[in-house]
Amino acid sequence: MQTITITGGQTLRGTIRPAAAKNSVLPLLAATLLCGEPCCLHSVPDLADVDTSLALLQAVGAKAVRHGPDLCTLPVSAADLFGEIPPHLAGAMRSSVFYLAPLLCRVGMVRLPLPGGCRLGPRPVDIHLAGLAAMGARVELEGEAVTLRRTGPLQGTDFTLRLPSVGATMTLLMAACCAMGTTVLRGAACEPEVCDLARFLCACGAQITGAGTPVIVIQGRRTLGGVLYTPIPDRIAAATYGAAVAAAGGEITIEGCTPAYYQAFLQFLRDCGVQTVLHENAVTLLRDPQKKLRGGQQLYANAWPAFATDTAPLAAAVLLEAEGASEIYDHLFANRFACAEGFAAMGASCRVKGRMLQITGGAMLQAAEVKAPDLRGGAALFVAALAARGTSVLQDPGHIRRGYADLAADLAQLGARCAVQCQPVRR
Ligand code: EPU
């Protein structure tokens, strides 16, 4: 198990560039199964979830190789693909769900044991399944596994998502590219990563209009080729660096990620008193460590373009020492604030009430030994430790590397005092 030691009180300075977005790269890797020619994704970070995706691709018979920062996949004939997703890979990440549509299309059947991922509350896949069923898939549920089969090709359909699920929109985009005829998705998610998947599929030959709006129209049955593709930068990593400088103080520039991708988080930082200077494809953030941040914030995390749920724990970390009580409500996930226990161990006064985190504010954070409960909660505890007095120890049973290749190295590059130690697993 990894532990990360973080000594708070160091101001941050420098320039940093987020790598490609995890939540784009993972569905794109699954989508390469639909492509009849090689694909190459640029600047893919070395994340645990990317390793899991590569293992999953290999397990179903596909070929993917890393060339430095790029990941390249080779086309595979349907006869060489298997539709069985191994339980240990399905259980290692939520994104195993992205393999449902491509394997159903290519192989004719797919069996997915329960997908894993952060324990953020119930994360059903009913919308993915309802959409695929509307295209003609037969859905068999058996215990915690789902098997999908098709007898003929999937059929284009007019489908309304009961809520704008990012993952289900991506599943149905992929399926609709292989379906016969036109598919209309209504109530679709509008997140930048959905647009990125649509752009990737179009670059491979798909015909999709309306991505980024709630109504997406897909003309199916195009043969997909290959592409050299640069996924969008990771807006959640960018927000994490922003939260870090807000907590620790200093001046950093986050480049290569358009501020529009995380404008709600930047607005939050401004409301707290962090100065933001916007450039075309970068933002400079300044926070005077001598001045208290402003609390008194009411944040409501919801689907794009609202405040992003993944940035809610990061905002909480920033607000612990700010002047005035704040509340953050997460509309999407029931258990977003499992990191509150770690905040409390550092001396913060905060309380989880249902989906809401109430923060008293004005804390003087002290170093503590804390445990990352999930990916973004772990990053939030890291951020809080940057503001705390003394050296905190963050135990991370593998969560943070699922979404950040090396968060400690990123922040150390900006002047944070932090280091990763690997401890042998106790038996
Ligand atoms: N939902 C359903 N049924 C479904 C699908 C979703 O009820 O079939 C519910 C979920 O339970 C949740 C809400 O809809 O309450 C939103 O879920 P969504 O499907 O939009 O999220 P996701 O696709 O599971 C992706 C990201 C998450 C991010 C959310 C919201 C990936 C791999 N994950 O999850 O990222 O929080 O969208 O933006 O793309 C992370 O990076 O740490 C992370 C959790």
Q: Both tokens of residue 4?
A: 């990360």
First to last CA, the chain: 12
- What per-residue confidence (pLDDT) applies to 282? 97
Buried/exposed 198-222: b ≥16 CB within 10 Å, e otherwise: bbbbbebbbebebbbeeebbbbbbb
pLDDT digits (tens, 9 = 90+) for 274-328: 999 999 899 999 999 999 999 999 999 999 999 999 999 999 999 999 999 999 9
360 three-state secondary structure: coil
Nearest 5°: the CA angle 396, 397, 400 is 55
Q: What is the number of the ligand 1 atom nearest to the C-alpha of 49?
A: 32
Q: With CA atoms as reference, report the closest residue to 221 among 54, 88, 34, 29.
A: 34
State the pLDDT at residue 118: 64
pLDDT of residue 424: 63
The fold adopted by the segment(s) 22-229 is UDP-n-acetylglucosamine1-carboxyvinyl-transferase; Chain (3.65.10)
pLDDT in tens, 142-201: 888 999 999 999 999 999 999 999 999 999 999 999 999 999 999 999 999 999 999 999
Where the chain has pLDDT below 50, the residues are none
Q: Where are the alpha helices (DSSP H) in 32-151?
A: 48-59, 87-90, 100-107, 126-134
Polymer length of the chain: 427
Q: Which residues have CB under 8 Å from 356's CB, separation 6+?
A: 327, 328, 329, 330
Given the candidates 3.40.50.2000, 3.10.20.30, 3.65.10.10, 3.20.10.10, the CATH classification of the domain at 2-18+233-422 is: 3.65.10.10
Q: Is the CB of residue 309 below 6 angstroms from any atom belonging to ligand 1? A: yes
Rounded Cα distance, 358 and 351, in Å:
5
Which atom of ligand 1 is nearest the CA belonging to 129?
8
Nearest CA to ligand 1 atom 17: 165
Q: Is the CB of 115 under 6 A from ligand 1?
A: no
Predicted local confidence at residue 318, as pLDDT: 98
∠ CA 320-326-331, nearest 5°, is 110
Which sequence spans correspond to the domains of the chain? Answer: 2-18+233-422, 22-229
Task: Give the pLDDT of residue 117.
Answer: 66
Ligand 1 in contact with 123 (CB < 6 A)?
A: yes
Residue 23 beta carbon below 6 angstroms from any ligand 1 atom: yes
pTM to 2 decimal places:
0.96
Residue-level pLDDT at 115: 74
CA dist., res. 95 & res. 115, Å (int):
7
pLDDT of residue 222: 80
Q: Do domains 2-18+233-422 and 22-229 have the same CATH topology?
A: yes
Give the model's pLDDT for residue 132: 98
